[in-house]
A and B are shown apart, each in its own frame.
Chain A
Amino acid sequence: MLQSQRRAVVITGVGVVNAAVVGASPALGAWLRQPAPAPRSPAGGARPAVRLPEATLAGLIDPSEGRRLARVCQLTIAAGRFAVAESGVDPASGLGLVVGSELGDFTSTIAFADGYLAKGPAGLSALLFPNTVMNTMAATTAIAVASRELSLTINVPTVAGELAVARAAAAVAGGRVDAVLAGGVDELDPLVAEMLDALGDDGVRGEGATFLVLEAETVARARGATILGRISGAAWRSMPARPWGVGRRVASRAIEEALSRAGRDAPGWLYLSASGDAPRDAWESRVVAAALGARRAPAAALGGLLGHHAGLGALQVAAAAWTARTGLLPERGGGPPERVGGCGLVHGLGRGGGHVAVIVEAE
């Protein structure tokens, strides 16, 4: 009964800022037709990672604005503005904000601590301190895009971007807000890379931001918005695992519940959160196999190309909308895109056991 009262949720805007894609949904679509691995460079830690060139970001944020913003906030704002502009949504009519991040602004946090360690209390920066709180990206982006409804920052390993989109979709579907800017962001920091090495996370690392504008379909259509895709079901659960660990259990209701909300029996294709973190990727494969069994469908995963970061999950939702529109599933071992049909499942399974499933369909 409750499901029938929920509103349909559509995607009306996409913004991406990473080493391979910068722009709105046309830029993402162009890359998805021939997805090439983004170049890797030293980024601290044991392995090269996918870094966004500084010149790219500098071209997206006005210097006078950039001086007041941490780099990770600049990433968030740049991607958010792309999404809001493509959507054409009027923030004054009520725009929420959900930001997923795994690491927040560690660069500023380290700089703040270093100030004290170098000079004692006199070395502390009052300007840096607010950035040590993980909602700093949401705070600055809310100001930049005039988002004045609910604002959430969601922290979870590996699946922060997917979870932010799922949570935002629930807020729109439940009627709490008509439109939400939702996505994920992370940046690379050398010390963080060193720490992740120590924790055994050996996936391909990246950085960037991807944000989507999600709207109630009735509201979007009433204002004549272009519909890029539909989120017809979303659910999140948790799997038993130690903090930052990989679990053994494979049974979870997230996929079934998302499919049920979408009124679907099985996905026609999948986007997985696999990114080269071998134990976690293997666990994800087992969980998906247990949930879908014979209903297993062709799968893509973009983490190895773009490097894992919290924006990736949101990017895969946007990519799934592109696949639903075009019928093309990219990144099939370097070959041409595969023709697919039906709905898509964007799947995320994180270290620590966060589990997210989002069903995406064409308009």
Chain B
Amino acid sequence: MRGVLVTGLGAVSPFGAGTKAYWAGLAAGACAIRPLTVVDPAGFRCRIAAEVPEIAGGSARRSRADRLALGAAVEALDDAGLGADERAGAALVVGAVGGGMLEAESWYWARSRGEHAPGWAASLRSMLPAAHAETLAHRLALGGPRHTVVTACSSGAVALAEAAELIADGVVDCAVAGGVDAVTRLCFMGFNALKLLDPEPCRPFDRDRRGMSIGEGAAFVVLEAADHARARGARAYAELAGYGMTTDAYHVTAPQPEGEGMARAMRVALAAAGVTPADVGYVNAHGTATPQNDRIEARAIAQVFGAGRLLVSSNKSMIGHTMAAAGSLEAVATILSLTHETVPPTANLVTPDPEVDFDCVPRVAREAAFEHAISNSFGFGGQNVTLLFRRA
């Protein structure tokens, strides 16, 4: 099996366009969760979200999510310095959930009022999750294997694991992989219906947490076979040394109470990377801030790593839960925590939950050097993914 290196990073986050803006926001412990403007929150208990302040990615005729994806993928490709020939053979794996649903909703809302919405054919064409991959491949001339994975909130992390597998198996030398989601009415309304949203910015791992905040964004990375990257003199941020993907097979929305599937994903990732729990210094947690999920994730982490020793933090306290983008945005944060030797904090964490027996890095980033870090992502349907990164 070939080693897989991360040689390009791209992010469009609620802190703005670009990986630098993203890391600056995380490292500062800034909270980008603000009043919601993209959709009308009237009548809902929660009226906040972490929106991307300015959308790059070209024509406004494209869906908001397509533009988020393009902005991040272009940055990652430029960062990696891949040439046209390499792009032509590169794989593309996209994690997505909402697709271009925001625009399709506008069409459907207008249709329900008996109105004709302009641009409806384009909005239908870009409505499905697969549309992002088609747009990226077409615009960026990516001609290798291409697929779109939908594993709910772990989609972005699954995309990285899928791409790494294509490289490790020798199918391709390099791949562009990541996740994207824009705020949509369906998502905002749905989590309201489930009563999972906090009216205030979310507080992962806090004793008084009351639920999640939704967000939007995109992050893509360029993954490359180690031999290929070294041959062309590429800079490597980190090695994607292992990953684990498991399923709870327990409940459509609730995680298995003991965190068995989560723990199994972490153990599979450790085994794949050939490292022990003691080798890992930081867990970038899924950390949604719902009372149940944080407790179960902490339980699973403790099963694998033992209580107390690790640094654990949640980016969602700053950028909200960016759905299909969460896994890849948090993977980028994990990689940058290795390169900057700094752990981003858990913002809004005031009173640590006594049932979470870890240092969750409250409010202020922490300098810390370590060789390995993991990023956890868990989705509806008990879809658990752990990515393990090694310092390059």
Stretch from A21-29, A108-116, A298-306 that touches the partner? A108-116
Excluding A135-B152, A155-B149, 11 further A-B contacts by CB distance (< 8 Å) are: A121-B192, A129-B190, A129-B194, A134-B129, A138-B381, A139-B383, A140-B252, A143-B252, A163-B147, A238-B144, A240-B143
**Would you give the 0/1 interface string for B65-98, flagging 1 where the beta carbon is closer than 8 Å to chain A?**
0000000000000000000000000001000110
Q: Nearest-CB distance from A305 to chain B (Å)?
A: 26
B305 within 8 A of A: no
* A130 B252 Cβ-Cβ under 8 A: yes
Q: DSSP class of A's interface residues: helix, strand, loop or mixed?
A: mixed
Shortest distance between the CB of B319 and any CB in chain A (Å)? 20
Chain B interface residues toward A at CB < 8 A: 43-44, 92, 96-97, 105, 108-109, 112, 120-121, 124-126, 128-131, 133-135, 137-138, 141-152, 158, 162, 165, 168-171, 185-186, 189-195, 245-253, 261, 379-383
CB-CB nearest 8 A-B residue pairs: A139-B381, A129-B190, A2-B170, A238-B146, A124-B193, A243-B134, A150-B245, A151-B247
- Whether A353 sits at the interface, judged by CB under 8 Å, is yes
Interface centre among A130, A150, A157, A240 (most CB of B within 10 A): A150
- B68 smallest CB distance to A (angstroms): 16
Q: A121-B44, A167-B147 are in contact. Are A132 and B245 (CB under 8 A)?
A: no
**How many Å lie between the Cα of A241 and that of B152 in the bound state?**
27
Contacting residues, chain A, for B121 (C-beta < 8 A): 198-199
Report A-chain residues with C-beta under 8 Å of the C-beta of B125.
199, 243-244
Which residues of chain B are near A126, meaning CB under 8 Å? 190, 193-195
A104 and B149 alpha carbons, distance in the complex (Å) = 12
Q: How large is the interface on A (under 10, 10 to 19, 20 to 34, 35 or more residues)?
A: 35 or more
Question: How distant is A132 from chain B, measured CB to nearest CB, in Å?
Answer: 5
Q: List 9 A-B contacts (CB under 8 A).
A: A121-B44, A129-B191, A147-B247, A151-B247, A156-B130, A238-B145, A241-B138, A244-B131, A353-B146
Known: A134-B150, A153-B151. A139 touches B252 (CB 8 A): yes
Task: Say how far B228's CB is from chain A's closest CB, in angstroms.
Answer: 14
* A134-B124 in contact (CB<8A): no
Cross-chain contact A241 with B97 (CB below 8 angstroms) = no
Question: Once the chains are docked, how many angstroms separate the CA of A236 from the CA of B148?
Answer: 13
Q: B43 touching A120 by the CB < 8 A rule?
A: yes
Q: B354: shortest Cβ distance to chain A, in Å?
A: 30
Among A97, A120, A154, point to the contact of B147 (Cβ < 8 A): A154
In contact, A135 and B145 (Cβ under 8 angstroms):
no
Is A142 touching B382 in the complex (CB atoms < 8 A)? yes
Q: Which residue of A lies closest to B66 (CB)?
A: A243
Cα-based distance from A242 to B381 in the complex (angstroms): 32
B149 touches A152 (CB 8 A): yes
- Pairwise interchain contact A155-B129, C-beta atoms closer than 8 A: yes
> Is residue A292 within 8 Å, beta carbon to beta carbon, of the partner chain?
no
Do A135 and B381 have beta carbons less than 8 Å apart? yes
Binary B-proximity of A334-363 (CB < 8 A = 1, otherwise 0)? 000000000000000000111000000000
Contact yes or no, B149 A147, CB < 8 A: no
> In the assembled complex, how far is the CB of residue B370 from the closest CB belonging to chain A, in whole angstroms?
27
User: In the bound complex, what is the Cα–Cα distance between A227 and B105 (angstroms)?
Assistant: 47
Which residues on the A side are within 8 Å of B148 (C-beta)?
154-156
B145 CB contacts on chain A under 8 angstroms: 235-238
The residue that A116 contacts in the complex, of B134, B138, B189, B191, with Cβ under 8 A, is: B189
Q: Which residues of A contact B97 (CB under 8 A)?
A: 133-134
Residues of B within 8 A of A114 (CB): 112
What distance in Å separates the Cβ of A258 from its nearest Cβ neighbour in chain B?
11
**Chain A contacts of B382 at CB under 8 A?**
139, 142
Query: When the two chains form the complex, which single residue of B105, B134, B190 contacts A241, counting CB atoms closer than 8 Å?
Result: B134
The answer to whether B146 touches A155, judged by C-beta atoms less than 8 angstroms apart, is no
- List the B side residues contacting A125 at CB < 8 Å: 193
> Please, how many angstroms separate the alpha-carbon atoms of A114 and B112 in the complex?
9
Specify the chain A residue showing the minimal Cβ separation from B41. Answer: A121
Q: Of residues B124, B171, B190, which shows the largest number of chain A Cβ atoms within 10 Å of its Cβ?
A: B190
Minimum CB–CB distance from A7 to chain B (whole Å) comes to 12
B residues in contact with A353, CB < 8 Å: 134, 137-138, 146
Cα A174 to Cα B2 with chains together (Å): 13
Q: Which of these, A140, A155, A174, A240, contacts B130 with CB under 8 Å? A: A155
Q: In whole angstroms, what is the CA distance A136 to B186 when docked?
A: 15
Q: Known contacts A136-B252, A199-B121; is A153 also within 8 Å of B130 by CB?
A: no
Per-residue B-contact encoding for A165-207, CB less than 8 Å = 1, 0 else:
0010011001010000000000000000001001100000000
Enumerate chain B residues within 8 angstroms of A238, measured Cβ to Cβ: 92, 137, 142-146
- Report yes or no: A143 in contact with B250, Cβ–Cβ below 8 A: yes
Interface contact B128-A155, CB-CB below 8 Å: yes
